[in-house]
Structures are given as structure tokens and as C-alpha cells.
Structure 1
Amino acid sequence: MKDFDALVGRQLETMDKLLDLQGEIERCQELKEQLNNLPGEACGEIQEEIEIMKEELQSIQKVFQKQTEEVIRSYQIREPLHK
């Protein structure tokens, strides 16, 4: 049970990171739309930052997916003991 709880705890921490980063990407995209009237260089820098965050988001999503698989495996191992 401790392993399962630890896995779920780590997964919740990862989900928090994922949600924070998604919010930051949305904020940057809104900012980019507001700054469309600025010179192209400023918009390009913002777009680069958004792309970097999107890559980080994909990385966190992969970690989250692996953690989900671990939680499921841990639960499946534990579950037969309770039947």
C-alpha cells in the first residue's frame, strides 16, 4: 500500500507541474496575441519561449503517462491480495 500511495503522490506532483505549465503556455499565447503589433523580433522571442514550454509540457506528459502505468501496475499487484 505504501508503494501505491507513493506512486499516486508523485503522479499528483507531476499533474501540478503539468497544469502550471499549461497555464503558463496559455498566458504566453494570450500575451503574444496582444503584442502582435510589436516588431517581429519581440513576437519571435515569445514564440520561441512558447515552443520551449510546449516541449517541456510534452516531456512532463510522458512522465505523467509512465507514472499512470506504474500506478495501474502497482494497483493490479496489490488488488489480488484483497480479494
Structure 2
Amino acid sequence: MDKFNELVSTQMQTMEKLLYLQSELERCQEIEKQLDVLKQSAELEDLRIEIDRKKQDLKEIYQMFEKQTEEVIHTYQQLAVSFR
């Protein structure tokens, strides 16, 4: 049961990172729209690089979250079998 609780805790931390990164990405995209309207091309290019980096980070964290979910499910199934 300790392993299951540890996995769930780790997954919750990953979820927090995922949510934070999603909000940061949304913030950057809003700034991107504003800069595009203002035609601030140099700042816009820097921001687009940051957005691409955040998208990649988000993809990696999401993949980690999926893997953790599979591990939590597997551990839970093992616990369910051992309690029978």
C-alpha cells in the first residue's frame, strides 16, 4: 500500500507541473497575440521560441503522467489481488 500511495503522490506532483506548464503556455500565447498586433517582431520571435520549448516540455510531462498512471493502475491491481 505504501508503494501505491507513493506513486499517487508522485503523480499528483506531475499533475501540478502539467497544470502549471499549461497555464504558462496559455499566458505566452496571449502575449504572442498582443505582440503580433503590435508588430513587435523581435520580441515575438523570442516568445515563439519560448512557446515551442514549453510545448515540448508539456509533451514530455504528459508522457510521464501517462506512464505514472499506468504504474498506479498496475500497482492498484496487484493490491486488489493480494487483498482477496
- The percentage of counterpart residues that share the same residue type is 42
Which range moved further: 40-49 or 50-59?
40-49
Q: Aligned equivalents of 1:17 and 1:28: distance in 2?
A: 16
Residue in structure 2 matched with residue 2 of structure 1 by the alignment:
2
Q: Aligned equivalents of 2:63 and 2:28: distance in 1?
A: 22
CA RMSD of superposed structures (Å): 0.8
Q: Aligned equivalents of 2:24 and 2:51: distance in 1?
A: 9
* Deviation beyond 2 Å, 4+ runs, structure 1: none
Q: TM-score, normalised by structure 1?
A: 0.95
After TM superposition, the structure 1 = structure 2 runs for residues 1-83 of structure 1, keeping only pairs within 5 Å, are: 1-36=1-36, 37-83=38-84
Mark the runs of 5 or more structure 2 residues left unpaired by the alignment: none
Q: Aligned equivalents of 1:38 and 1:49: distance in 2?
A: 18
Instruction: Supply the AA of the counterpart residue of 1:68.
Output: T
The total of aligned residue pairs comes to 83
